[in-house]
Structure 1
């Protein structure tokens, strides 16, 4: 998986999760991705509550305190993430261990308001 913003990095992973806290509702959101030749394939998502812009799909099921649902979207290539001081940071989770993207990229900055992730099998800088 490629990771680009202020820096470029390559992470040798086949799957990962992104987690973040909703900037207004302060509710954790998680999405699972697989790295495929066609791009990053979004799979299961989890959210611990609803609120502004966080409508829970009708087919979601409540398990372990979070709503789980499967997303049906084409592979994303690239996956563009908004990353600003106001919105906070994402966590990148691999094998059940999560680290804030700021570990690699520094804190979110208004001068670099977005980050792109992609499947390295298709894209190179």
Structure 2
């Protein structure tokens, strides 16, 4: 899980969480275990856009939640979703 925010610099990651660990999902140094989730702040620059691809291997898409509610994106394999701040 990841929390992102829109800033004048672009999309900035505020926090990321992983439950458990495994191949490629090891909690990074400085992570804190909170309610069964490893919580940390990735060190990446603000992004102009996020590209979400769906492999179909997980059986799920992406869940995008805002103050207006949540919706599922990219459930079908091969679907690509691009998130970027609105202009203006």
TM-score range, shorter chain: 0.7 to 0.9
**Uncovered stretches (5+) of structure 2, i.e. residues with no partner:** none
**What is the aligned partner in structure 2 of residue 120 from structure 1?**
86
> What's the C-alpha RMSD, in Å, of the aligned pairs?
2.1
Q: Could you say which residue in structure 2 is the equivalent of 1:77? A: 48
- 2:63 corresponds to 1:91: yes
Residue 39 of structure 1 and its aligned partner are, at CA, apart by: 1.4
SS of residue paired to 2:2: strand
Deviation at 1:86, TM superposition (A): 2.0
Partner of 1:65: 36
TM-score (norm 1): 0.60
Aligned equivalent of 1:27: none
5+ long unaligned stretches in structure 1: 1-29
Q: 1:98: Cα distance to partner?
A: 3.5
Structure 1 residue runs of 4 or more that deviate by more than 4 Å after TM superposition: none
CA deviations over 1:62-105 (Å, ceiling 9, x no partner) = 0111111112211111111111322431111224x533225xxx
Q: Which has the higher contact order (CA 8 A, sep 6+)?
A: 1
1:109 aligns with 2:77: yes
Name the counterpart of 1:25.
none
For the residue of structure 1 that corresponds to 2:39, the secondary structure is strand
Instruction: Give TM-score scaled by structure 2 length.
Output: 0.81
May I ask how many residue pairs the two structures share in their alignment?
87
